[in-house]
A and B are shown apart, each in its own frame.
Chain A
């Protein structure tokens, strides 16, 4: 399988979003017949670009505007204002043309034909997307092998488990060699083994074929394992765009150092560390995520009878929660 040619109207930027906005008029029933109209800014001036071949995580709480953004990037929704280009195409205007260049996986609902065997859906995709026979065969074989779909091909989609269905959906989105893959909550509700399969597959896809991937998720492990870059959105605004590591600094997150001493001692005194908890011979120390743990470890080891030690990485969920708190109470 070949990598996609390096050609795009926007140079190396595969997805270009400039001051994107989406405003909904929501009618609320306030009485028997009275309705109150109010405007909701689901996406409120978002700008970013994604270079070809990058894998980006797009995270935020429910109702933050993630799905609305994805819908505008696929052409399902028309933006209220701003500019969107995907592979050089304006999605809302050229939706049908764009469909052949992108793959979309909606975690919550399937793009497969519910009552028909998996293979029927694939055959229909083959003809609908006018995929060349040999390419289709290759792509299908590869997906079947890597996503372990072999025994499921003749099973009606409605009889598949959630994890099986998700793998089936991912395969369906890739049979026409899309350059851009959108995944909306691809691991939601999956068990650990299915999640691992999906993540491994996506990482390989991105590495081998150079497919640009944008994924929304609630599961921060998805981001930690797949994406070097993460965008955080809340209330329709982009709150962070950058490396995963940088998120810790912004959120002022801390790593936890768990030290087991030989005997019960008063809280240890180590520069740059703060004792969180003492429980018998075990103590919990907090150090800033951005700082190195080494000096603290050395200091503790030289001054105290150290038996064992472990480091816990900060929980991004907590980091993001903290970020939201800071914004909410400036």
Chain B
């Protein structure tokens, strides 16, 4: 674990140094990354220019949901975003070169081409979240204040687990980068809108089938002082850390299984 973090730091630092040789280029891609993600929120703003509330949520509340997911996903994307290249590594055989180095393969894949420009997405999330905190009248209690960072970090961990599990899946199925993206980027889009826009059954399914909902929905509703939907008890809002731990454990098992399968089949 300590070795893994050390190796991650080393590889990431190398890529950061390399990116920083071209500062202007870096600044532009960072801004591009920021702008591209910002368009999503602009779309929501446009909707609100026509209606006052979307699915019973005000603009500020939606900004809260959007910002929270944006930050959580942004962190996971920054740390684990390179995982979707695993499929290509398996196909072209370059994974073998990682297996003969003294650092965990997961770390080497995740830290490869570490891209600081992904900070653009986090920045955008932070701005929107900050805006939400100023406009929404939240009844702050210690529990609510504590839940905000817990929600963000657990969310980042859950998204990271999904990235890892998706990568593990790529060991078995070639060309599954698209499938993985459907889960991660698709799940991200889903969470940026208030759940009641989507059909009740879908929402139920997402809550139970995909733990992604814990990323921000249940805790966000709690912080915003709203009832949990579908009659779910409100203590579920505090489950994200538990869900995060379970997700990471499952993802780690999946990764091990995937790597073991690769090492026994070589493909």
What residues make up the interface of A, taking CB atoms closer than 8 Å to B? Answer: 24-25, 68, 71, 74-78, 92, 95-96, 99-100, 102, 104, 106, 108-111, 113, 115-116, 120, 123-124, 127-129
Q: Which of B76-84, B97-105, B228-236 contacts A (4 or more CB under 8 A)?
A: B97-105
A120 cross-chain contacts in B, Cβ below 8 A = 14, 17-18
Contact of B14 among A77, A104, A123 (CB under 8 A): A123
Chain B nearest Cβ from A29, distance in angstroms: 13
Q: Within the assembled complex, what's the spacing in Å between the Cα atoms of A250 and B14?
A: 53
Contact indicator B18/A76 (Cβ below 8 Å)? no
Using CB atoms, name the residue of chain A closest to B7: A128
Chain A nearest Cβ from B220, distance in angstroms: 39
A71 and B266 in contact, given A116-B14, A124-B11 (Cβ under 8 angstroms)? yes
Contact indicator B102/A129 (Cβ below 8 Å)? yes
Q: Within the assembled complex, what's the spacing in Å between the Cα atoms of A7 and B107?
A: 33
Using CB atoms, name the residue of chain B closest to A128: B103
Chain B nearest Cβ from A121, distance in angstroms: 9
Contact indicator A78/B102 (Cβ below 8 Å)? no
Which interface residue of B17, B97, B103 has the most chain A CB atoms within 10 A?
B97
Contact indicator A99/B11 (Cβ below 8 Å)? no
Contact indicator A77/B263 (Cβ below 8 Å)? yes
| Residue-wise interface mask of B (85-119) relative to A, using a CB-CB cutoff of 8 A (1 in contact, 0 not) | 00000001110110111111000000001000000
Contact indicator A76/B96 (Cβ below 8 Å)? yes
B11 cross-chain contacts in A, Cβ below 8 A = 124
A76 and B100 in contact, given A68-B266, A109-B93 (Cβ under 8 angstroms)? yes
A109 and B100 in contact, given A78-B263, A116-B14 (Cβ under 8 angstroms)? no
Q: Could you name 29 residue pairs across A and B whose Cβ atoms are closer than 8 Å?
A: A24-B266, A68-B266, A71-B96, A74-B99, A75-B99, A76-B96, A76-B100, A77-B263, A77-B264, A77-B266, A78-B264, A92-B263, A96-B102, A99-B101, A102-B100, A106-B96, A109-B93, A109-B94, A115-B18, A116-B14, A116-B15, A116-B18, A120-B14, A120-B18, A123-B14, A124-B10, A124-B11, A128-B103, A129-B102
A123 cross-chain contacts in B, Cβ below 8 A = 14
B94 cross-chain contacts in A, Cβ below 8 A = 109
Chain A nearest Cβ from B22, distance in angstroms: 12
Q: Within the assembled complex, what's the spacing in Å between the Cα atoms of A74 and B17?
A: 31
B92 cross-chain contacts in A, Cβ below 8 A = 109
Chain A nearest Cβ from B14, distance in angstroms: 5
Q: Within the assembled complex, what's the spacing in Å between the Cα atoms of A128 and B10?
A: 8
Considering the complex, which residues of chain B in the window 241-267 have a beta carbon less than 8 Å from any beta carbon of chain A?
260, 263-266
Contact of A127 among B10, B15, B17, B104 (CB under 8 A): B10
Known contacts A109-B92, A128-B10, A128-B102; can you find 15 more A-B pairs with CB under 8 A?
A24-B266, A74-B99, A76-B99, A76-B266, A77-B263, A100-B102, A102-B100, A106-B93, A108-B93, A109-B97, A111-B100, A115-B18, A116-B14, A124-B11, A127-B10
Contact indicator A95/B99 (Cβ below 8 Å)? yes
Q: Within the assembled complex, what's the spacing in Å between the Cα atoms of A75 and B101?
A: 11
Using CB atoms, name the residue of chain A closest to B100: A104
A115 cross-chain contacts in B, Cβ below 8 A = 18, 113
Using CB atoms, name the residue of chain B closest to A101: B102
Interface of B is mostly: helix
B102 cross-chain contacts in A, Cβ below 8 A = 96, 99-100, 128-129
Chain A nearest Cβ from B96, distance in angstroms: 5
Using CB atoms, name the residue of chain B closest to A182: B100
Chain A nearest Cβ from B180, distance in angstroms: 22
B263 cross-chain contacts in A, Cβ below 8 A = 76-78, 92
Q: Within the assembled complex, what's the spacing in Å between the Cα atoms of A25 and B10?
A: 38
Q: Within the assembled complex, what's the spacing in Å between the Cα atoms of A109 and B92?
A: 9
A92 cross-chain contacts in B, Cβ below 8 A = 263
Which interface residue of B11, B94, B101 has the most chain A CB atoms within 10 A?
B101
Using CB atoms, name the residue of chain B closest to A125: B101
Q: Within the assembled complex, what's the spacing in Å between the Cα atoms of A104 and B98?
A: 11
Chain A nearest Cβ from B77, distance in angstroms: 20
Contact of A24 among B10, B103, B113, B265 (CB under 8 A): B265
Chain A nearest Cβ from B50, distance in angstroms: 46
B113 cross-chain contacts in A, Cβ below 8 A = 115
Q: Within the assembled complex, what's the spacing in Å between the Cα atoms of A115 and B265?
A: 29
Q: Within the assembled complex, what's the spacing in Å between the Cα atoms of A96 and B105?
A: 10
Q: Within the assembled complex, what's the spacing in Å between the Cα atoms of A138 and B99?
A: 26
B103 cross-chain contacts in A, Cβ below 8 A = 128
Using CB atoms, name the residue of chain B closest to A173: B100
Q: Within the assembled complex, what's the spacing in Å between the Cα atoms of A95 and B11?
A: 20
A74 and B14 in contact, given A24-B266, A92-B263, A128-B7 (Cβ under 8 angstroms)? no
Q: Within the assembled complex, what's the spacing in Å between the Cα atoms of A115 and B114?
A: 12
Contact indicator B97/A111 (Cβ below 8 Å)? yes
Contact indicator B10/A74 (Cβ below 8 Å)? no
Q: Within the assembled complex, what's the spacing in Å between the Cα atoms of A42 and B93?
A: 17
Contact of B97 among A68, A75, A110 (CB under 8 A): A110
Closest 10 CB pairs of A and B: A111-B97, A99-B102, A104-B100, A76-B99, A78-B263, A78-B264, A76-B96, A127-B10, A74-B100, A124-B14
